[in-house]
Structure 1
Amino acid sequence: MNPPVRVAVIGCGAHAQVAHIPALKQNRLVNLVALCDTDVRKVNHLCTLHGIPRHYVDFDDLKMDEDIDAVVIATPNHLHAPMAVAAMEYGKDVLCEMPLGLNAEEARLMVETAQREGRKFMPCLNTRLRPDVQTIGKFINEGELGQLYYCKTGWLRSRSSWSLEGWRGQRLRSGGGAFLGLGTALLDFSLWLLSPGRPVSITGVAHQRTPKADVEDTAFAMIRFDSDVLLTVEVGWSMLMEREFTYFNAFGTNGAALLNPVQINKEMHGHLVNVTPQISTKGIQRASFQTLIDLWISSLLKDSQSPVLAIDALLINRLADAFYRSSSSHCEVSLPGEPE
């Protein structure tokens, strides 16, 4: 493929407007040629605002446009798989928002379609690309914290900051509640930081604030790894609290790392020493999406494999499926290795 890569964004919600469109416009090797959304007024406005020449309200029309090389899919969850599969079958490379599908079966179909059609298929696993997460990763990979044995992560949002109106509150369209909706971002960087260790089992508990709710609003999971690391995950989007917060703590035999803000402590000569490097926390989410887009475009132009792999996103869907089985059965659920 020769530059510039002709890209279209499918789904023009807040995520596309704040993250994808600005990052694509910032990359000089991209020509953002089209937007697609069912809201014709919104898509017209965005095309005018950003100087984008074409708009579509019907994905079926866009997928047949031979002047589009690649697409970013930022639609509601239930549309990820059918749109990604169709786009690849029509010769387009795909960058898809997370979670890939409503379940592992859909995610696996997307991966298999990319292999069959010879297309580049990359998931939006951007949180592992945040500068602060990358810094913690360097300390872990270089053995600065010793052998990790316990990690915990969470994302708790106030009731007023998250709405279940629309597709997020409908299991058939979202695939799940707080665990899939919030836990996906946490599992993105947690699994990356704990690799090459692989999860072998999960125990999950879900809570629905109202009996009629279609999805859980609070969830807790305990994940065991083949490296003997234990990871706990807590998420919720209906907390009576003033503000949301996210965290990740990693504990090793020689030190510990904390996220939001980053703090690294090491045991040195019998004392606990703060060895945190200076890291700018300004615009870390925006920086992670810019890195993601740049890696994607580079892999398309070089016809090379991106370091952000679809198999990692498939693992998150598999963990979510196992979480919901565990929660309904009140038992620990094993996670066998993915067949080759």
Structure 2
Amino acid sequence: MSTTVSLGVVGLGFMGRTHADNAVEFGHDVIAGADVVAETREAFAGDYGAATYESFEEMYDSEELDAVAVSTPNAFHEPAVVAALERGYDVLCEKPLADDLAGAERIAAAAADSEGFCMVNFHNRLSTAAEVFTEYQAEGRFGEITHVDADYVRRRGIPGVGSWFTEKELSGGGAVVDIGVHAIDFALYLMEYPEVEEVFAVTRTEFGHREDYVDPGDWYDETDDAVFDVEDSATAMIRCGDDRTISLEVTWAANQPDSTEFLARGTEAGATLELGGEELTIHEAGRQGTDHLVDATVSEGSIDHAGWAGSDRLFLEGVAAGEAPEMNTVEQGLSVQRVIDAIYRSAESGTCVAVGDERRDDAA
């Protein structure tokens, strides 16, 4: 890559530092950062030699940037992303696009009018198993994928109560917004992003308020003024065009084993793979010699720059080339946000709801 990208980071916590580290690793310049916490700004400035600002507006007005990575709590994605796009910057936005559908729609509209592009950090697509799957899919090995079982289950994994993750005003939701967004995106990705038509869902809060909550991994860390007003699990059935379906199970806490397994069922073959994993098992049937079943496991391979590093590299290469990446587009991020919105509307109403901007009011 011959062009060095000048990157600004909005939100200087763990993910902001991850984006900064990857940018430096790939030979780019982290020249500025913005965060409301003074101590966080000071540490970032010291570690990266970057100018820091309390507000993203001040950073945008003061610095000559090529691109921005936005990694704030969900409620603050929209103003930071829209303002960057209005200035023509390319933007990497953490998932989900926003804390609600209206905010995501405004981001998508700003991206459509901008000289820059917006990419969503759906990093689980950048994995060995996913790349092998999509190559075989392009060759027609699976036929048409008609159903996906999508699991993102933590047996015990509620993020720290008192953090923004468990406060709806800052996050927009609980397990569905935090980890369900990855499962929804990945399932749609395996199906080549069909139009989603209807959703039936149930959300539950079964563990977040319990005083006897068992937390072997020390995720929880409740404080006296902790807020927990979101769901900790959800079950959904998602119907796409041509009656293709997704069965979704998402939990921060449940009395069942951890799972990030996805099972894609095709008309010619199926596949099992882990979210962000390396191993892929293909399920087929044959008549050679005699009728038989075949389970073929693809292993012993790995792609370069998987996960967060792969996503950052894809974004920065797009910025340097002046071309929006074809993966992880803002339109796909908006599609995922519409499904999240439908999950919550269905859970509230107790009925199946239509998905899509133009049908939202009629379905509510």
TM-score in terms of structure 2 length: 0.83
Number of the residue aligned with 1:332: 352
Please, which of 63, 70, 74 is the counterpart of residue 71 of structure 2? Answer: 74
Structure 1 residue aligned with 2:221: none
Q: Which residue of 2 aligns with 1:177?
A: 174
Shift of 1:331: 0.8
Within the alignment, does 1:273 sit opposite 2:287 as a pair? no
Cα gap change, 1:160 to 1:311, in 2 (>3 Å): closer
Task: Please list, as runs of the form range in 1=range in 2, the aligned pairs for 1:228-239 lying within 5 A after superposition.
Answer: 228-239=243-254
**Equivalent pair of 2:89/2:115 in contact (CA under 8 Å):** no
Amino acid at match of 1:273: V
Give the aligned partner of residue 218 of structure 2. none
- SS of 1:159's equivalent in the other structure is coil
Unmatched 5+ residue regions in structure 1? none
SS at match of 2:326: coil
Please give the per-residue CA displacement for 1:120-156, whole angstroms capped at 9, x wherever unaligned.
Answer: 2211122222221121222333222233332111111
* Offset from partner CA, 1:3-35 (integer Å, 9 cap, x none): 211101111222233x3222211222x211122
**Are positions 1:84 and 2:81 aligned together?**
yes
- C-alpha change, 1:207 and 1:194, in structure 2 (3 Å) is same
Distance across 2 between alignment mates of 1:150 and 1:59 = 42
Deviations along 1:194-239, whole A, 9 cap, x unmatched? Answer: 0253211111100112679411111011011113222111111123
The two structures have a TM-score, normalised by structure 1, of 0.89
1:317 alignment partner AA: Q
CA contact (8 A) 1:35 1:52 kept: no
Change (3 A) 1:185 1:55: same
Partner of 2:235: 220
Q: Which moved more, 1:301-310 or 1:79-88?
A: 301-310
Match of 1:24 in 2: 23
Distance 1:108 1:76 in 2: 18
Q: Structure 1 residues 318 and 117, CA, compared in 2 at 3 Å: closer, same or farther?
A: same
What do you get for the CA RMSD once the two structures are aligned? 2.4
The answer to whether residue 201 in structure 2 is matched with residue 204 in structure 1 is yes
Q: Which residue matches 1:149?
A: 146
Q: How many residues align?
A: 332
Whole-angstrom CA distance in 1 between matches of 2:311 and 2:296: 28
Q: In structure 1, what is the equivalent of residue 91 of structure 2?
A: 94
1:322 CA drift (Å): 0.9
Does the aligned pair in 1 maintain the 2:236–2:247 contact within 8 Å? Answer: yes
Q: Tell me the distance in 2 between the aligned counterparts of 1:87 and 1:114.
A: 10
Question: Residues 276, 324 of structure 1: CA spacing in aligned structure 2 closer, same or farther, 3 A cutoff?
Answer: same
2: CA distance, partners of 1:300 / 1:37 = 23
Answering whether residue 256 of structure 2 is matched by residue 259 of structure 1, we say no
Give the match's secondary structure for 1:151. strand
2:335 pairs with 308, 315, 324, which one?
315
| Whole-angstrom CA distance in 1 between matches of 2:193 and 2:71 | 29
- What runs of 5+ residues in structure 2 fail to find an aligned partner? 210-226, 360-364
Partner-residue secondary structure (3-state), 1:20: helix
Provide the rounded CA distance (Å) in 2 between the counterparts of 1:160 and 1:117. Answer: 39
Deviation of 1:60 after TM superposition, in Å, equals 2.6
Q: SS in structure 1 opposite 2:293?
A: strand
